[in-house]
Structure 1
């Protein structure tokens, strides 16, 4: 528990310093305080949560793949929106994709589902409209022609 809490604090501090744009004494102190408050909030939520989530080590691989795809997806989105502005067409559409839910009460599966929906919704050219319990599919809104997901368990 202490090691995980320390890793969360360190990760939040690093993220704060990265997003601050510069590293100085004031940023370091502010980052340490903000990371401490966010870590305390996360620990409190984790203790009192009715539903447990757990993220596997493979989550970072899928997050990296989703983040690496942001630049090409942004370029595709720009092209599609520019073409839509010129032609007046509506480029968006909804598509169903297979999305195996796994065990509903298993923390690792709940964490995978939450991360998969978040990562799929961070893309500039698509977002998850619905991933209903009990159905092994997700409804995704996309601009242009979305490629198939490389892993249906992750939607990205």
Structure 2
């Protein structure tokens, strides 16, 4: 992995809630009918969806607030190896599951074999999968200052 980040479900919920609140504050200062306001409402909806998915995973699934997840940004080689495992006919949603299975180093659903981890990821709430995908993507996003993920907020 290029870089990793470990957080608990509670940490993730806090981060998402802070992002939602920041977006609400920003929306208070904008005219509702602007494109910027629409974009912020969309982003707020996404963060709320992800947080609700984590809530579901802890209330209906087997995670707790203390469940730890270690998400990583794959190297080019790791990503290539993941693509070896992906079936040719896989669509975008299935590819997302493979990506998350390969990007998460430690979590309750991680197994020794990628195929087993993939099967476990398929049983997660869709919002959690999309959140984990976004986390991994954020960790792998290069910037002029190096990896920008440590400085980014969920609102950006």
Give the TM-score, by structure 2 length: 0.27
Give the TM-score, by structure 1 length: 0.27
Considering only CA atoms, is the larger Rg found in Structure 1 or Structure 2? 1
